[in-house]
Structure 1
Amino acid sequence: MSKRIAHIISEGPTEGRGIPATAISPGFETGFVQSVAAPFPGDPVNLLLTEISTVEAAMRAQQEGYDGVLIGALADYGLAAARAAVDIPVVGCGQASLLTAAGLSERYSIVTIWPETQSFLYDRLLSENHAGDQCVSVRYVTSAAEQATLAEENNFYTEMRAGKQHMIERILQGIEAAVAEDGAQAVILGCNCMTPVAPILAERASVPVVDPSATGYRFLEMLVGLGLKHAKDPALPPVSERASVFSALVKAASIELVDIEDCAVCVLSDDGTASCDIPETETITAS
């Protein structure tokens, strides 16, 4: 019987948002578990809501019989709380990527498609992980003004996901600037949304390029395959007794948010497709 990995993502269409098929080993399968009422974490308040939603999704994944949980975001929303809430391994793509880059090199950088307005997420990730000490820079290849164009049919984000040459070159310039100017010996892609272009960047970059989606997933496969779990306080219950509370919280929040808020990043088109949901990478999922 295959081991089942829960891939936690935000609500919306799932096409093009999974783990690259080449990263999934025989004997494993992935399934989406969507977080409910998780706004884009553009500030600390919305970040807190997103983390509550992610923890609830991890609890739901365990109830549904998954063998491990992958938080599908470099910012590792709710990672510590999710690990405390369930009795199966939980891996954040951010932490796994930092550990991998730190193992590959003495100095690494993060190069992200997002503007510097999102710097607080990267600052937190680096400060909360010892491997963050080896990060020499975070390079942002777009501006806040460009982020405001996401409602347009064609924008920097959709063009990056589609592998447009000018966006590939722009990201590569950021990578090579991190190498030449910051002394980086490896680079982490700063968003799981960059997975579709990761193979192209890895082939052309002068240093190793860490794709957080594939790296986080493989890290979790290793833990599940070895039968390892995260250490816990022996005085605490192995599974949180607050699952029903978290479920009630996110259900109430989803009712409140549904008609009053659009995502600050992933803009919906007239047919309901989000700008982040362009299918550009093959996935294997289990229902």
Structure 2
Amino acid sequence: MTRIWHQSFTVLDDVPHYRDALRRHLDAVARPGTTVELHGMAPGTYPGSYPGVHIGHLYLTNLHREQFVRAALEAEERGYDAFFIATIPDTGFEEIRTLVDIPVVAFGNASVAFAATLGSRIGIVNFIAALEPQLRRNMAAYGLGALVGPIVQVETAFTDVMAAYADPGPLVEAFRRAARTAIAEGADVIVPGEGPLNVFLADQGISRVDDVPVIDSLGTGLALAETRAAFHRRTGLHPPRTGLYFSKPDPAMVKAARAFYHGASA
């Protein structure tokens, strides 16, 4: 049995169409014996707006990152086999992998790395334009920056993606238009951006636009989490423990620092 903690950037109970589609999709693509447990942000995280607004502001994103850190520490303490950061900006990825030894897999990192096994110029199609600088910075840090070509926005908003489950046609066509723009700019593989768009496309059975593959980003991340969990059990495989971006601090020091900044909530 493999238990994977899926961490969303959304308050899942606020978006039941997405939550239910996510459940269906991950259950369909998980390997036999894998349990994926869905977790979202705390209720009330986004008063008066939603992730599509917050995620475009660095300070707000950094504040919300603490929920991902807290979740990862809890996942390891409770014996999960892997932690899956299921949002394309990979919120907290670099910090979290320095804090826990269980495998940590991130949506953006995993999907672009996998796409590179299919083609040589990756196009990202998403619906939050403000994310582009963060995505490019992340990919450069991962050593994948040269592979990422056009980043094209679907002409829609977060609420439109949620509404599309009742009337999928307009969003399907908007995605195809955006994908064809990316293809015209040289993309030979398409990575769907944010989780809600990815799950919607998977729900509609869309895996190609013309002659170009559209990967299942969440399915790819889950598959990598399952593989990493298996290798971790077998050999203890985990990232290097050297330098600023990988060394693991003393857990007591981490606990004290978190208590100072976050009090009982840490």
TM interval, short-chain normalised? 0.7 to 0.9
Aligned in 2, Cα 1:231/1:62: closer, same or farther, shift over 3 Å?
Answer: same
Contact 1:71 1:79 in 2 (8 A): yes
Contact 1:74 1:192 in 2 (8 A): yes
Query: TM-score with structure 2 length normalisation?
Result: 0.80
Give the equivalent residue in structure 2 for 1:60. Answer: 74
Post-superposition offset of 1:248: 7.3
Query: TM-score with structure 1 length normalisation?
Result: 0.74
Structure 1, unaligned runs of 5 or more? 255-287
Letter aligned with residue 68 of structure 2? T
CA-based RMSD? 2.8
Give the equivalent residue in structure 2 for 1:6. Answer: 5
Q: Distance in 1 between matches of 2:75 and 2:190?
A: 31
Post-superposition offset of 1:28: 1.2
- Whether 1:240 aligns to 2:251 is yes
Letter aligned with residue 213 of structure 2? P
Give the equivalent residue in structure 1 for 2:139. Answer: 126
Give the equivalent residue in structure 2 for 1:25. Answer: 31
Q: Distance in 1 between matches of 2:257 and 2:41?
A: 15
**1:188-203 correspondence to structure 2 within 5 Å:** 188-194=191-197, 195-198=199-202, 199-203=204-208
Structure 2, unaligned runs of 5 or more? 47-53
Give the equivalent residue in structure 2 for 1:231. Answer: 240
**Percent of aligned pairs with the same amino acid:** 22
Give the equivalent residue in structure 2 for 1:78. Answer: 92
Give the equivalent residue in structure 1 for 2:102. Answer: 88
Post-superposition offset of 1:156: 2.1
Letter aligned with residue 69 of structure 1? F
- Whether 1:187 aligns to 2:190 is yes
**1:135-174 correspondence to structure 2 within 5 Å:** 135-142=148-155, 147=157, 155-162=159-166, 164-174=168-178
Contact 1:8 1:72 in 2 (8 A): yes
Post-superposition offset of 1:113: 2.5
Q: Distance in 2 between matches of 1:101 and 1:50?
A: 28
Higher helix share: 2
Bigger mean CA offset, 55-64 vs 33-42: 33-42
Post-superposition offset of 1:213: 1.0
Aligned in 2, Cα 1:109/1:236: closer, same or farther, shift over 3 Å?
Answer: closer
Contact 1:42 1:118 in 2 (8 A): yes
Aligned in 2, Cα 1:191/1:34: closer, same or farther, shift over 3 Å?
Answer: closer
Give the equivalent residue in structure 2 for 1:209. Answer: 214
Q: Number of matched residues?
A: 242
Bigger mean CA offset, 240-249 vs 81-90: 240-249
Q: Distance in 2 between matches of 1:47 and 1:184?
A: 29
